[in-house]
Amino acid sequence: MTQKLDKTVLNSLPDTISRPAYDRAALSPGIVHIGVGNFHRAHQAIYLDRLFTLGEGHDWAIVGAGLKPYDAAMRERLVSQDWLTTVVELDPNGLSAQICGSMIDFIDVDPSALLHRLIEPGIRIVSMTITEGGYYVDPNTGGFDADHPEIQADLKDPDHPRTVFGVLVAALMKRKAAGTAPFTVMSCDNLPENGHMAKQAVVGFARALSGETADWIAENVAFPNGMVDCITPATGDRERNLVRDTFGIEDAAPVVCEPFRQWVLEDHFPTGRPALEKVGVEFVRDVAPYELMKLRILNGGHAAIAYASALLGHYFVHDAMADPLIRDFLGKLEKDEILPTVPEIPGVSFDKYLTTVMERFSNPAVGDTIPRLCLDGSNRQPKFILPTIQDRLDKGLPVEGLALETALWCRYCLGTDEAGNVIQVEDDNADKLNTWAESVFGKSSGEYEMPDLLGSLASEPAYLQAFRNAAQSIATLGVAGALKAYIEG
């Protein structure tokens, strides 16, 4: 027998399913979260649920929000189940489910409704998961793109903003006028210096309106950086059926995730914060070393296995990790070339972190896919791989393994795998990447056309030589042979 999820069935659920052990009716909102996707509900919402279970922080409940069509779709799915979510942890030793109750409302997907809620004094934190591409970054300068059409539309009518940053600036100004302390803006997106990126967008929007407004926000609003981590697959019929068939719950928007979470936050919350350190959040003065550790070891690890695995015909990440060639390539590359570039963090063992990362990648219950890891290489490689190469070159260190990784990316962009099957390269720069791949691996190969996507590496002699060697190894030995030669070298 299955039960449709809502607050009326909580007490009748089996004891095997964890449910809120606190009175949700007694919670009051302290956080507005913009972008209620799977990651937020598997991560931030769970940490707060655990804190509420301890009997603490009941004035920090979450109010969901968003301004995009998919936010409206999520609100529609959650409204009939009283904002509850079934979160299933995909532990290979046995699945577990809990009903997360830390979100108590979801604002109508309307900018004026969001603005009205943000000026309430009880809202002291505005958190966001608006995706890495949601910060209006100018691709040429890295600064705020005030010329973006959506931003320009808000600047022409700042009293009726429609973008997240237009609404935030309007709300902060209304709070200032009312004598209400500004809220803290907390990005939970998976990008380097996410707090700085949020500040750049908010202050950048404000500066396009008024220098005085921008200066006040820069001086008075906190934007803590944070490092977040929890592999959270998309929800589809597979996940909804799993929750129904395994746990007897009809949930329109369940979340499945790995049984691992990490959240490292700068402790900079002038108007207060929930005591999340009691449920595992690490509060530190500087998040940057932790970010770099994750970006290079975990995200760089994903990038490292992505293209080799795709070319060898693997679909699931756990299957790729079961291939000794992929696993040994990742291990050698990490230990020889990636880990040495990460500055020491007191009390943190990078070897243990790497072991955990490889265990996470190998978890068959997660069902993460190689095609997902291959997405958007022209955006991910410059974040997760190319800076590590540059660091090593600056120190005169070899980059044999990292050059092989980029050569495998190049070979992938040729558009076929080792068996001749067509690969659909999902990348905004797919044509440019294919031209590069043709120049390297095509029949008319001669002088390589290194793309500007590689930045300064496109003219670094040491890197170019290592890349040529790697490409030649792939061309003559095949992907498996090139991996084996590197591992045994």
Q: How confident is the model at residue 181 (pLDDT cuts 50, 70, 90)?
A: very high
- The pLDDT value recorded for residue 266 is 97
Q: How confident is the model at residue 192 (pLDDT cuts 50, 70, 90)?
A: confident
B/e letters for 42-69, b = 16+ CB within 10 Å, e = fewer, are bbbbbbbbbbbbeebbbebbbbbbbbee
pLDDT at 445 over 90: no
Q: Give 194's contacts (C-beta < 8 A, 6+ positions apart).
A: 187, 188, 225, 226
% pLDDT > 90, the chain: 93
What average pLDDT does this structure show over 342-364? 96
Task: Kindly state the helix (H) or strand (E) to which residue 75 belongs, with its residue range.
Answer: helix 69-79
pLDDT tens digits, residue range 236-279? Answer: 999 999 999 999 999 999 999 999 999 999 999 999 999 999 99
- Contact call for residues 316 and 279 (beta carbons, < 8 A): no
Q: How confident is the model at residue 132 (pLDDT cuts 50, 70, 90)?
A: confident
- The pLDDT value recorded for residue 273 is 98
| Average pLDDT value over all residues in the chain | 96
pLDDT tens digits, residue range 269-292? Answer: 999 999 999 999 999 999 999 999
Give dist(CA 203, CA 207) in Å, integer.
Answer: 6
pLDDT tens digits, residue range 151-175? Answer: 999 999 999 999 999 999 999 999 9
- The pLDDT value recorded for residue 444 is 62
What average pLDDT does this structure show over 308-323? 97
Q: How confident is the model at residue 313 (pLDDT cuts 50, 70, 90)?
A: very high
The two structure tokens encoding residue 19: 């449910």
pLDDT at 446 over 60: yes
What average pLDDT does this structure show over 201-229? 97
What average pLDDT does this structure show over 211-233? 96
pLDDT tens digits, residue range 46-87? Answer: 999 999 999 999 999 999 999 999 999 999 999 999 999 999
DSSP secondary structure string for all residues of 280-294: TPEEES--HHHHHHI
What average pLDDT does this structure show over 406-429? 95
- The pLDDT value recorded for residue 215 is 98
How long a stretch of residues is the chain? 489
Q: Is the dihedral of CA 344, 349, 355, 360 positive or negative?
A: negative
Q: Is the dihedral of CA 346, 348, 351, 354 positive or negative?
A: negative
Give dist(CA 122, CA 59) in Å, integer.
Answer: 8
- The pLDDT value recorded for residue 447 is 72
